[in-house]
Structure 1
């Protein structure tokens, strides 16, 4: 492994210190490593992973993506958490050249124009930020400077050999954008306990699918709730049970449905939060006049005396105008099955977030109390 571009690296203060601390520990031969979860599905907690688990994950990723010695890998996620940490491990184990930058919504901005990237892991926000720039290169209204930047981003993305996108759901709009580039892009499924992803879903090209395919050596199954469990060398051979509802396929691949603990029971009807949110994401993109296109939101179940729980849309920022809110609610009723459509909207100035920038739903809902 080599660390490329010392000028870029030295500009990343906290990130650099975390990188050096981990690399030193790895090169000393330490066998266990402490990592904190982000807290997106519960309270943050400490997880201990063994060296062999992390090495197994790196090797499985290399086999799945065709990673080779000498490739350039961009580390643009916080290395205090598992996604960024495992990019370092892949570099150390696989002989990749690591390009480390400070985490930001536009990680390409920090790179010299002549520095190519073969492999990278983004969160959805980063992927969208880059595509919003790259996909407008043909816009006649752009200035020459903006067009040059768009073309440069497009070329850089297209030259990548593998792009991972994880850490949260991918909206239908973002997935449509990803389909416009040829570089292989994958949605990841995994968690801290599995040393990042254990399954990948191709997002673009002829192999694009709604199914997550397990990495080599990973076994999958479901419990009586229909929730996924996995076993592999990256779990230390232990069976790891999740709260993720899936549609398991005969070949072991699966379609992610949503979180078991995110199901709303409204009048006896089970409402899968993630499915409702995906429909609203599509509606918001197709009808910007509804006022949600540039706003964060999520679906929640709030107590209701008659229904047990009622479906509510929680929106970040100032309230919509009364007529616009009414228009939005009518559109949701038309687009969603009965009992799934929110009839009320709650507004919060700013959502609570995890340290990695994910919406912390439970803490956000407490702001309504």
Structure 2
């Protein structure tokens, strides 16, 4: 691996960063100091190693934010295991796929979530254990485990993310990927030991996990929050003296609609955004509401962690820019001739360097599609992520997003596979054909629209389909609108005309 000239340590060494008595993690049950954090990680790692002695085995977690989900990434890495965090919003069908695909030998989750699984959802080799039972066993375990000496290139986690086609695929992240990601973000955000980060994003996402890792790299404190209402954020910022808040555009819309006391808003030192571009109007609202906070718009790929950020000093003058590459990343724009694009010329965004993940778990075909040799102009060389996203660079070196080549739907910060939504709709037996589309939406970025043709002989499909989808799809995948058609349009190649349907639906939505 070609990497920067600085020490790259195993991920679990993040537990060693802060001063003993300082706060590291604020939970509902109380505050863990850095000394407490080190002790809990040590015991959890030792217990895991005894429960799962095979190095490299996958251990999955499916729980809301709390001690287990915050400590497991470090404890599993220390025990020589691979952590598979499962989005707590997923339902049993998606969880069953992740368990089978990853080959997880243990799933630790909240009791209610585990009870929602059917017998066929859990592979025979995968044991189920409640979150409470696991934490109690770890605390009572007679033994501890010191910091690991893992190779930086060893696999440490598999994060499942939706692709434009098919079911979620697992992105393989090494110790080096996550350690350097933490160091990079802590560096350009200017995080320090007195910072307190409100972790509102799911810890199953790379952006969400980095809330933990970058803050801990700086020796700061993380406050996990599963909020129910936007006003919960206001209360939490005040109660915990929060300095750092990361969110996605739909949440920022809600944030700007809240009544923020001046003193509370002034606590925030920095705001970070990813999972979709901020609109010019939203940037202006955030700057007005949090005038003292530094705003960091960012662009990232799970396949390469994070790619670019816009310096806060440029946000007011260049609000639509993606900024420049983050530390340890190299971003090239490659035109259709395979050459580095000229200033102002559109091309494919290619991410090179040590933040590039190791590919997709057990999926050589899709890995080969996205992970290819770096362009000849790369200073890193090796394997790069060819994003499929179109971008351009101006004469000042600032990058601008142009569009996505694939059909991925990006709604409320979630990447949604159209095919996955379509497969669930077809599996109901109520429809014969289905096409899922992403339609521009002011609050969500994109909203899921589902175009369907009823199966022959089904009379109550229109009433029954929404109910079935609510049962089988997580909330963020639910169609905002279902469009019923007596016939679906077909293109010259005999396939469903997705482009024509998309143009029709988008025109109707904007009319």
Structure 2 length normalisation: TM-score? 0.47
Larger radius of gyration: 2
Relative distance call for 1:349 and 1:130 in structure 2 (3 A) is farther
Q: 2:210 aligns to what?
A: 86
CA deviations on 1:291-331 (whole Å, 9 max, x unpaired) are xxx7986599x9xxxxxxxxxxxxxxxxxxxxxxxxxxxxx
Partner of 1:115: 240
Aligned to 2:401: 256
> Which residue pairs with 1:35 in the alignment?
158
Q: Retained in 2: the 8 A contact 1:201–1:210?
A: no
How far apart in 1 are the matches of 2:391 and 2:256?
A: 29
Q: Deviations over 1:173-225 (max 9, x none)?
A: 42331231321112220021122x22113577656443222112322212334
SS at match of 2:320: coil
**Cα separation, 1, equivalents of 2:484 and 2:209:** 32
Contact 2:180 2:328 in 1 (8 A): no
Matched, 1:57 2:181: yes
Answer whether contact 1:70 1:96 (CA < 8 A) is retained: yes
Alpha-carbon separation, structure 1, partners of 2:235 and 2:318: 30
Q: Could you tell me which residue of structure 2 aligns to residue 98 of structure 1? A: 222
Following the alignment from structure 1 to structure 2, what is the Cα–Cα distance between the partners of residues 351 and 186?
Answer: 36
| 2:171 corresponds to which of 33, 44, 47 | 47
Q: What is the Cα deviation at residue 113 of structure 1?
A: 3.2
Which deviates the most, 244-253 or 1-10?
A: 1-10
2:351 aligned with 1:230, yes or no? yes
Aligned length: 280
Counterpart check, 1:169 vs 2:169: no
Q: Structure 2, unaligned stretches of length 5 or more?
A: 1-17, 32-61, 80-147, 337-346, 358-379, 409-436, 452-465, 489-511
Which residue in the other structure is 2:72 paired with?
21
Residues 1:357 and 2:465 aligned together? no
Q: Distance in 1 between matches of 2:180 and 2:225?
A: 25
Tell me the residue number matched to 1:185.
Answer: 295
- Conserved in 2, the CA contact under 8 Å of 1:230 and 1:241? yes
Aligned to 1:6: 27
- Alignment of 1:217 with 2:238, yes or no, is no
Q: Structure 1 residues 112 and 54 mapped into 2: Cα distance closer, same or farther (>3 Å)?
A: closer
Label 1:299 to 1:367 Cα distance change in 2 as closer, same or farther (>3 A). Answer: same
* Residues 220-229 or 350-359, more deviating: 350-359
For residue 351 of structure 1, report the CA deviation from its aligned partner.
9.7
CA distance change for structure 1 residues 5 and 93 in 2, over 3 Å: closer, same or farther?
A: closer
Cα distance in 2, alignment partners of residues 242 and 367 from structure 1: 34
Cα distance in structure 2, aligned partners of 1:126 and 1:44? 24
> Per the alignment, do residues 114 and 200 of structure 1 end up closer, same or farther by CA in structure 2, a change over 3 Å counting?
same
Cα gap change, 1:355 to 1:163, in 2 (>3 Å): farther
Alpha-carbon spacing, 1:26–1:246, altered in 2? closer, same or farther (3 Å): same
Match of 1:129 among 242, 248, 254: 254
CA-to-aligned-CA distance 1:21-77 (integer Å, 9 cap, x gap): 223224554642333344274442111101111111111112212112231111111
Give the whole-Å Cα distance in 2 for the aligned partners of 1:112 and 1:253: 32
Q: Once the 2 structures are TM-superposed, how far is the Cα of residue 3 of structure 1 from its aligned partner?
A: 3.6
Would you say the 8 A contact 1:9–1:100 is kept in 2? no
Counterpart CA distance in 1 for 2:203 and 2:78 is 16
The CA distance in 2 between the partners of 1:118 and 1:173, in whole Å, is: 24
Task: Give the stretch that moved more between structures: 89-98 or 77-86.
Answer: 89-98
Q: Could you say if the C-alpha distance between residues 356 and 130 of structure 1 is closer, same or farther in structure 2, counting changes exceeding 3 Å?
A: same
